[in-house]
Amino acid sequence: MRWWTPALILAVVGATVAVESAAFRGQLIPSVADGVVGATLLTCGILAWRPRSARRVSVLMLLSGRTWLLGALVPAVLLVHRGPLVHLHLSYPTGRLRRVLAIATVLVAYVTAIVEPLARNDWVTLAVAIMVSVAAVDVFVRSSGPARKAGRPALAAALAFAGVLALGAVDRLAGWGADLAMLLLYDTVITAVAVVLLLDLRFGRWVDATVADLVIGLGGEASASL
């Protein structure tokens, strides 16, 4: 257990360098940023695997990283990573989707990410971004107590991702010409969100808070019957 994690991370770095080298099209900064995002998602997925309760989240991070790197090699699937990323943000921290709106949003995200004409349509991207924002707020508002505390990072992650998606779509629709800036902002947000969610999984107290709230709740009349 002590040696396989760094070995996998080294393998991820090597694979990322190989992929970006094969996909290099003469633009150094976008290629480096693209490689950093892919390597970060895969590394976070590996590190998130150890806690058993985070396995579903780990799988979504790994899937996001794999589809991200695959998109560098195959332009037709360049935006497929949006599906698992939306799934990750709306299902964190359990990896399970419980709200109908969240389930519908994730399905829409996967379909529009897989179908290339839809994935490249800026109006569709803008609509998906709005759906993600509404679904994230719905999940958060419908939760309470420790579940709401645990849902704060997920809400922030979903809103950040939806925001950068919408901003990129508006940039292209309005013809602002800030493609490189939007690309780097998109990469930065995804990288930062992955790291924040990993840190929350490993060092956050949301599991302990949930258990503590249950114990406190059972401290009244319910404890006798239990």
Q: How many CA atoms lie within 13 A of 156 on its CB side?
A: 14
Confidence of residue 223 (pLDDT cuts 50, 70, 90): very low
**pLDDT 10s digits, 113-137:** 999 999 999 999 999 999 999 999 9
Q: What is the pTM of this model?
A: 0.88
**pLDDT 10s digits, 28-44:** 999 999 999 999 999 99
In b/e form, how buried is each residue of 46-83, taking b as 16+ CB within 10 angstroms?
A: bbbbeeeebebbbbbbbbbbbbbbbbbeeeebbbbbbb
Q: What is the pLDDT of residue 205?
A: 58
Share of the chain above pLDDT 70, in %: 89
Q: How many CB atoms lie within 10 A of CB 182?
A: 18
